[in-house]
Amino acid sequence: MHWLKKIPAALLAAALFPLNAAAGTTGGVTGRIVDSSNQAPLAGVVVTAVAPSQSATSISDASGSYRFLTLAPDTYTVTFAKAGYDSVTDPGISIFADNVQVVNVSLNKALRTIANVTARAGGLVKAGTTSDVYSVNAAGQQAAQGLTGSGSLNNAYGAIASVRAS
């Protein structure tokens, strides 16, 4: 029974000297990352948050979720990067103490280079030519003289007629 006398004294002390709850000094960013084509979660996405006051890195888990829970209040640029996908950068994410921003992202698959083709003009196109120019040598003129059709080969109808006739 002696301990019952101590309970009211402890309650009185708690009422007279309340403990102040300390305010938080950090905030956070959290979200989910999915494939834009099928909305499947993307694991292994490297997420970086960069501000003048600090930078931090996180990696998305199997559900595509990432989180930064102890960021100093500031304005951050958050970048999402994964091999095989186009990177996404989201600037201007403002972090405030005791607040968590939600930033969800969809990543597009990156285009892949499967081959390179090199083309080289074999003298058909001359540098500096700005209009269609045709050059017919003597052999071409002689071959064209043997073609017949209604009209001459100086117009489109004559060329079509000569092809149809042969």
SS3 labels along 105-166: EEECECCCCCCCCCCCCCCCCCCCCCCCCCCCCHHHHHHHHCCCCCCCCCCHHHHHHHHHHC
One domain for residues 89 and 159: no
Residue 157, domain extent: 133-166
The total of structural domains in the chain comes to: 2
CATH code of the domain in which 44 resides: 2.60.40.1120
What does the alpha-carbon distance between residue 51 and residue 95 come to, in Å, rounded to a whole number?
10
pLDDT tens-place values along the chain, 166 residues long: 554 455 555 544 555 555 544 457 899 999 999 999 999 999 999 999 999 999 999 999 999 999 999 999 999 999 999 999 999 999 999 999 999 999 999 999 998 888 888 876 555 556 666 766 666 677 766 666 655 545 454 555 555 555 555 5
Element (H, E) at 68: strand 65-71
Domain assignment present for residue 115? The answer is no
Residue 164 has a pLDDT of: 54
Domain assignment present for residue 58? The answer is yes
Domain assignment present for residue 91? The answer is yes
Domain assignment present for residue 6? The answer is no
Residue 154 has a pLDDT of: 54
One domain for residues 34 and 95: yes
Domain assignment present for residue 30? The answer is yes
pTM value is 0.57
One domain for residues 103 and 41: yes
